[in-house]
Amino acid sequence: MPSKSKDTVLDAELLELCRTVCEDVKKVVSSLKGTVEADDFMFVGADGTDTKRIDAAAEDAMIERFRKYAKSAGKSIRIISEEYGETILGNPSEVEFAVIVDPLDGTTNAVKDIPFYSLSIAFSKPDLTGIYFGYVCNLANGGEFYAEAGKGAYMAMADGAGVISDGISIKPSTASSIRDLTISAYGYRQNTDRTTKLCSRVQKVRVLGSIALELCYAASGKIDAFIDVRRALRLVDIAAGQLIVREAGGIVTDGTGSSLFLPDNHIKPVNLVASNGIVHPEILNLISFPEIECRGDWYYYKGGVKKIAIVSRCDSEPAREMIREIVDAFKDRVEIYLSSSPAKYLDMEERDIAVSKMKEAGIDFVISLGGDGTILRNMSKMNDPIPILGVNMGTLGFLADVEPKDAIRAIESALSGFMYDERPRLELSVNGKFVGNAINEVVATSAYPAKMMTYEIFVNRRLLGEIRADGIVFATPTGSTAYAMSAGGPIVTPEVDSILIVPIAPFKLSSRPWIVPFDSEITVHSKLPKKEIVIVTDGKVVTQPGVETERPEDYLKVSENDVVTIKRARYPGRFVKFSDACFYDTVRNKLS
């Protein structure tokens, strides 16, 4: 380790531990930064994003250092990290504290050798509440920021020889006028309007690509505010940085100005606004959007629509005619694409685009002509779904917000801006390998019709029970009005962040539906030897990798030695909304 000058000591042991971890991580990152190998895909991380070789190397170095510390100190530690999720070092029943770590915040910068990437470490109670120490180190230049609850925030820089200076107390800026601010602001393309107005008023905008470091820059007055309204920040991204901002004297809230409640897991996303406090109310005012009664999680996509796409059932002449009508009405105003089947069927191959490529092509929203099945099939092909405007040309159309007679008017309106609703999805994996996402439900059922199976179900590694039944439905609130309801499950409003576990024709009267928090990790095992189950996502049977047909011999069979895992997906489904009817109105109108 490099030598250091005397530090402003808070918790000297934790600070020294953080620096030791930092040195280990820095060594492996330095050997990979800027190389082709650094960007190699390794696996899908616990947070649902791609883990690159440089990420995995940094995570391994971090865990190994904490493993050595736990062994030498005789302590049991719970580690929450971006790539591996949860790791317990020592005895799970004797965990003394938790460590929330992002070993490499700013992967793209590191891969491209842009010197702005960091290590972020926070210490908390075992249940992830009560964060009491935070540490962030710029891995490119050795500069560091740290804070302890109730004892202030500090910054220390490394000189050319690697000597770390004395820690000096930091404070946010004193800027009081919006037009004088330098800020960092993030917003997804679907809701950039929440940051566009703000960015047009401030003096300068800097988007640097390492959340933890940018929060520290806000804490130390290098920038005046940090805003991220992508609803994409995870606990590992912000745990240390938010404490450093608060201890420096700044303010941290969610995107509406409410107190920021940190999620108690590594998956659930949040919005965050951090500032010096003086300009906070005005920032919130500029990024606010109209509230809609009974709206759930609605967002505003303002204008700038240049490209739209159409997905459609092809077995309906009214649907085919609607495609022609939409193309004729709007072809001179926006670029219009069709998914492969309708493009081929209607002899419009020049407009053909695969659904999986629509996001990459910059499609602003997708028009779905059909019923709920059309929406479900096409959304399942999108990793990060584009907002879908559903035109109900099917039977029930619970997810479709527009009737055919109103379609042209609705599209006309959407070209000038639209509201869209975000609904959480489920991510399915088998033996740790990603299989797919579902907006309605994941169903485990016997591979052989009408055969009862025994399912062993764990929630966050705790046994919920063994259920003997024809199958089990794992549903989102969106899917609570579908298969889960038919199987006897309750109807759940979208605002209730939960997963339903509903047995299908259970053998025992005591096998009742369960509702568990959406951020739970659910694992399922088949308990009967030599009997297999199949998995169905949103009505489609999961098949072997690379197989598109749904013949029984192509089904992915799950046996007693396999593990099925269900958890919150990284990206939600998105639905364009025009009706201001709340969920209760929709249920009453559609299901009465």
Q: Which residues are catalytic?
A: 372
Backbone phi, psi, residue 331, to 5°: -65, -25
Backbone phi, psi, residue 107, to 5°: -55, -45
Q: What token pair was written down for 357?
A: 């490529």
Q: Is 499 in contact with 518 (CB distance < 8 Å)?
A: yes
- Give CA–CA dist 500/517, Å, rounded: 9
Q: Is 137 in contact with 147 (CB distance < 8 Å)?
A: no
Residue type, 385: P
Q: How many CA atoms lie within 13 A of 428 on its CB side?
A: 28
Q: What token pair was written down for 489?
A: 């499950």
What are the angstrom distances between the C-alpha of 83 and each of 55, 57, 194, 251?
A: 8, 10, 30, 29
Nearest alpha-carbon partner for 535 in 407, 441, 413: 441
What residues contact 279, with CB distance under 8 A and at least 6 apart? 175, 176, 177, 178, 181, 224, 225
Backbone phi, psi, residue 548, to 5°: -95, -30
- Give CA–CA dist 108/54, Å, rounded: 10
532 - beta bridge partners?
A: none
Alpha helices in 299-346 (DSSP H): 317-330, 340-345
577 - beta bridge partners?
A: 419
Nearest alpha-carbon partner for 556 in 565, 546, 566: 546
**In the block, residue with structure tokens 């009560």:** 130
